[in-house]
Chain A
Amino acid sequence: MSEPSPRRVLILVASGPSTPARCAAPFHIGTLLACMDAEVTLYLTGEGVQLARREVAETLRAVDGGEPLLHFIRNAKQAGARLLMCRQPGVQLDPAPLIAELDEISSGGELAQMILEYERVLTL
């Protein structure tokens, strides 16, 4: 049985500070998928965009006493995942308060293109 070539997985991260318990899972799953040789893109959209703010990433915790979200983001990045964030139309963005782990700020059109091209799309 031949192992398929690395598959591309797009994870839409739509959870944000209003549901902290849901925020670590997309990055942990992304880490595991990247460790299994999948080409992983984590895409922050909707409320998930807030997770790219340094003050949020450094303080938000999925469980009390657990690691801050930035820990999970760094694990995913170290495993090889890409981290993109949706550009909000008409909103001027100051990149200064954003985490350095962010690879790119992308448009909705680029997201649509990825959805069509990737083998797997998850929303978490």
Chain B
Amino acid sequence: MNLHGLEFPDSLRYAPEHSLWLREEADGSVTLGLTAYGCALYGEIFAFTPKRVGARIERERSFGVVEFAKAASSARSPLAGELLAVNEALLERPALINQDCYGDGWMVRLKPEGWATVREEFPLGKAAEAAIDERMRLDNFDPANAHVQALQWK
């Protein structure tokens, strides 16, 4: 799916309020990463500092910090769970998030709590279109001016 020039793979689930994508893995874990919309808002990412592997992440709490031009933002988790893995490559090359946000730029992997109960809160692919579009509308998203908007974005 393409929204306002930004790509959102149909194979992923989305947390539109967090500008994150989620992918269910075969072992029951869930991988999280920033969507193309999140990247557009942040602009160039200078650093991503995740919490330590093994940390218990509460829902709506930070799983890391993203630093971008002139500001920083908490990366809040849309679900609770144990932090199983972090993308070590981002410590050296945080710009991977901008370059390949759905691939090598993944951020963390969680062992989710109560996934069966909460998974339907995260629409799959095309089903997320309306919610993402609404998020963009509420943010007054302007693709031509996204970098400036990032400074006001939470």
Contact = CB atoms under 8 A, between A and B. Distances in A.
Interface of A: 1-3, 28, 31-32, 34-37, 67, 71, 75, 78-79
Contacts of B136: none
6 contacts: A28-B72, A32-B49, A35-B74, A36-B62, A71-B70, A79-B73
A71 B71 CA distance: 9
Interface residues of B, number: 18
B65 A1 contact: no
Interface in B31-75: 49, 51-52, 54-58, 61-62, 65, 67, 70-74
Summarize A's interface: helix, strand, loop or mixed.
helix
Contact of B65 (A3, A32, A71, A75): A32
Nearest to B58: A3
Contacts of B72: 28, 31-32, 35, 75, 79
A85 B25 CA distance: 49
Given A36-B65, A79-B74, 16 more contacts: A1-B52, A2-B56, A3-B51, A3-B61, A32-B65, A32-B72, A34-B74, A35-B62, A35-B74, A36-B74, A37-B62, A37-B74, A67-B70, A78-B154, A79-B72, A79-B73
